[in-house]
Chains A and B, each alone.
Chain A
Amino acid sequence: MSGAFTERWYRLFLRAFPPDHRAEYGAEILGTLLNDTPRRHPWPRETAGLLTAGLTARARATAGPWWADGVQLGLSMLALANLAYGIADHASPGWLAISALLAVALLRGWTLAVLPLALAVAFSTGRAMLVGPEATAWSSQFLGPAYHNWVSLAPYGVLAIGAIALAAGRPRDLRVRPLWWLVIPAAALALVHLFGIREYGETWQLVRAGTESILLLAGVLATAVARTPRWALAAAIYVLPGAITPLTDPPSSTQIFGYWLILTGLLLAMAATAWRPQPVPTARHPQ
């Protein structure tokens, strides 16, 4: 196995680290791996070390205050879910465009663009409750579904309140998240239009529950590494507005009850993990 292949292999796994860490230590890590260690071929232990240390560094990387990072992530997830359901509902192109713009603005941290878009989405979905039932019939390319009870509107209310908090707090250095998060609405597009999956059918619900569980589990692991409440806050923003549904509309099956139980359990696990102190040294005068 050539040295060039070994270098390419380790370079690939170096990408697990955040860009600033790669810029600072990347060449040195490669030098230690290729010049100093006795092995001249990719070694599973070193590969796993790069992967876990890289993901750990990403989890610990900070951007702005923790509350703003958590609010931004939680709202991004709500916006992505709203877009995915818009696609499944065959919503109008205008509504899909507004929903997509909101998701992108949140992911990229464009605070000032987030506020009007979030308020527009919240008003559109809540127009029947805010204006009256006749608003449901308003005809516009830019209006989405109108909900007729406050419980269904809870996620959109949280979206609006969160956007106001972000605009009012004016946090600096809000994280710029990669656009690969749009794989979630892209998957919805593929499920509905390529595979003909019926919206709200069993496969759709299974994919949704699986995606949510994997992301929440990743949040628990990231919290265990970084011991910050930002993921717990994001998870609460995403899970709690939905979790109140069973309170007013009792679950029709044990599967639905189990689904909310698992999501709430993962949220609680994340919150409990964030509360435990991190075993690292502290300098007397941390920089």
Chain B
Amino acid sequence: MVKRTSVMSEPTYFVLAALLDGPVHGYGIIKRAEAQSDGRVRLAVGTLYGALDRLARDGLVVVDGEETVQGRPRRYYRLTEDGRSAVTREARRLQQAAQVVMGRTSPLTGDARA
């Protein structure tokens, strides 16, 4: 029994977002997540694979292929349809939340009365 909300953590969001353009390997996900979050999400390798394991169990990502680099496996991960839907839903939620603020403050900036 694990209680869950529909709110996604920021690292999870950027891990899923890193896979939107197609399959990426572990280190590629780390670099993309860091770049796309303006350096806010800097995942340690262990943290990334813990997240990938959970996301795979939830059916949001799957292994797309595997190669061997210097004798060690390197797998590529891709989004499932559920994964794409989940990250898109979260993006809409964030957009709506941002709109609450951005839609009001811009016109009023510098319009304070004496």
Contacts and interface: CB of A to CB of B under 8 A. Distances in A.
| Majority secondary structure of chain A interface residues (helix, strand, loop or mixed) | helix
Given A36-B27, A46-B44, A48-B44, A31 B50 contact: no
Interface in B17-69: 25-27, 43-50, 52-55, 57-60, 69
A17 B72 CA distance: 19
A172 interface: no
Contact of B46 (A54, A66, A227, A228): A54
Contacts of A13: 46
Interface of A: 13, 17, 21, 24-25, 27-37, 45-46, 48-54, 56-57, 60, 66, 226-229, 274-287
Contacts of A51: 46
B92 interface: no
A36 B44 contact: no
Given A49-B46, A60-B54, A284 B72 contact: no
B54 A32 contact: no
B4 interface: yes
B58 A286 contact: yes
A278 B4 CA distance: 4
A50 B2 contact: no
Given A31-B70, A49-B47, 7 more contacts: A25-B52, A66-B1, A228-B1, A280-B4, A281-B16, A281-B90, A282-B58
Interface string B63-106: 00000011011110000101101100010000000000000000
Interface residues of B, number: 42
In the A-B complex, the 8 residue pairs with the closest CB atoms? A49-B44, A31-B72, A36-B27, A53-B46, A50-B46, A53-B50, A49-B46, A283-B82
B72 A282 contact: no
A170 to B, nearest CB: 19
B109 interface: no
A29 B45 contact: yes
B26 A36 contact: yes
B58 to A, nearest CB: 5
Given A31-B74, A34-B72, A287 B58 contact: yes
B3 interface: yes
B59 A287 contact: yes
Interface of B: 1-9, 12, 16, 25-27, 43-50, 52-55, 57-60, 69-70, 72-75, 80, 82-83, 85-86, 90
Nearest to B6: A282
B10 to A, nearest CB: 10
A28 B49 contact: yes
Contacts of B43: 49
6 contacts: A29-B26, A29-B49, A53-B47, A227-B4, A276-B3, A286-B59
A52 B3 contact: no
Nearest to A274: B3
Contact of A35 (B48, B59, B70, B80): B70
A280 B12 contact: yes
Contacts of A36: 25-27
Contacts of B52: 25
Given A21-B53, A53-B50, A60-B54, A32 B45 contact: yes
B44 A284 contact: no
Chain B CB within 10 A, most for which of A32, A229, A277: A32
